[in-house]
């Protein structure tokens, strides 16, 4: 599969300037454009560009405020912003750097300069993203860790709130895992967790689905734009997939092999709501699944949260 091209958002209220920059960069990058600050912020959230080329002087919301808002949002904070300005005053450059820009390009635009600076900053971002991705992986299982999940949860909550789409969360853990460790030892216990993580990753097939280790023997799966029945089907697939591995568990009163219990919560997020509340709901449903005998799925849907 060919590697996807970097995405660049060009923001300028003058269409001819947008056209010039698009012509310079279109052969190497996917170009999106906005002609005012509000549209730019909407596109940043919708497209998650790899870099933003941003004019300073625009009617309404100026470039400084657009950059400040991009940098204030944890989901978009790491997107590089390069200001493009007809002015090269020290005060403008100082203010731009203070709100989070990484570079300035002055007009009239020089194609070689634009290409070189965009290329260099994208290379630096790629290297930074690689290091960052490694910090988001669980060292034992190789799947996403709690930090990665928390960031994705916040981002998807906001996105689904804007689009009025459902967001589902599965929380699960391995039944009687302490007894498993006591019986087989921690090394075998670690291998059991790796197998469970593998099953979850194999069965959460959409690119937008995120499987993560939540802590200890507890895992989560975030399912954007997934309704309650759809999330329950995924959870039942997880449960069946782990059971099919027939990992021996002599100390389990549930079955002679490893099983999992799952809580599934679905909601249509609201801007006033809290992603933490969705996690609390899923955790309460997991507890109910355990109380009901384990090796089962407990689900619930709340219209708006």
Tokens representing residue 47 in the block: 């497209």
The neighbouring-strand residues paired with 299 are: 264
Cβ neighbours of residue 266 under 8 Å, at least 6 residues apart?
166, 167, 168, 169, 226, 227, 228, 231, 299, 300, 301, 302
Rounded CA separation 240/179 (Å):
21
Active site (annotated) includes residue 217? yes
Rounded CA separation 107/303 (Å):
51
Q: Which of 8, 18, 57, 22 is nearest to 37 (CA)?
A: 57
Q: Which residue is catalytic, options 156, 191, 217, 225?
A: 217
As annotated, the active-site residues are: 217
């Amino acid at each position: 599969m060919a590697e996807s091209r970097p995405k660049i958002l060009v923001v300028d209220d003058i269409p001819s300037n947008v056209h010039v920059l698009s012509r310079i960069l279109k052969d190497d990058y996917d170009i999106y454009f906005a002609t005012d600050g509000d549209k730019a912020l909407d596109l940043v959230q919708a497209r998650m560009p790899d870099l933003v080329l941003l004019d300073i002087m625009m009617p309404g919301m100026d470039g400084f405020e657009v950059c400040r808002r991009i940098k204030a949002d944890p989901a978009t904070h790491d997107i590089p912003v390069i200001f493009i300005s007809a002015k090269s005053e020290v005060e403008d450059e100082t203010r731009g750097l203070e709100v989070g820009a990484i570079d300035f390009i002055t007009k009239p635009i020089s194609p070689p300069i634009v290409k070189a600076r965009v290329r260099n900053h994208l290379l630096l971002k790629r290297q930074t993203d690689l290091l960052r991705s490694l910090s988001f992986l669980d060292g034992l299982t190789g799947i996403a860790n709690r930090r990665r999940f928390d960031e994705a949860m916040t981002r998807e909550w906001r996105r689904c709130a804007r689009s009025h789409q459902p967001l589902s969360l599965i929380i699960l853990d391995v039944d009687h895992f302490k007894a498993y460790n006591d019986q087989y030892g921690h090394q075998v216990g670690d291998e059991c967790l790796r197998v469970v993580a593998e099953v979850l990753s194999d069965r959460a097939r959409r690119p937008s689905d995120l499987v993560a280790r939540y802590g200890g023997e507890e895992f989560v799966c975030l399912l954007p734009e997934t309704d309650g029945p759809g999330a329950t089907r995924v959870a039942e697939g997880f449960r069946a997939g782990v059971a099919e591995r027939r990992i021996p568990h002599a100390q389990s009163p549930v079955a002679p092999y490893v099983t999992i219990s799952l809580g599934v919560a679905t909601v249509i997020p609201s801007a006033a709501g809290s992603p933490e509340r969705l996690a609390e709901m899923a955790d309460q449903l997991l507890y109910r699944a355990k109380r009901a005998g384990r090796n089962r799925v407990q689900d619930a849907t709340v219209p708006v949260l």
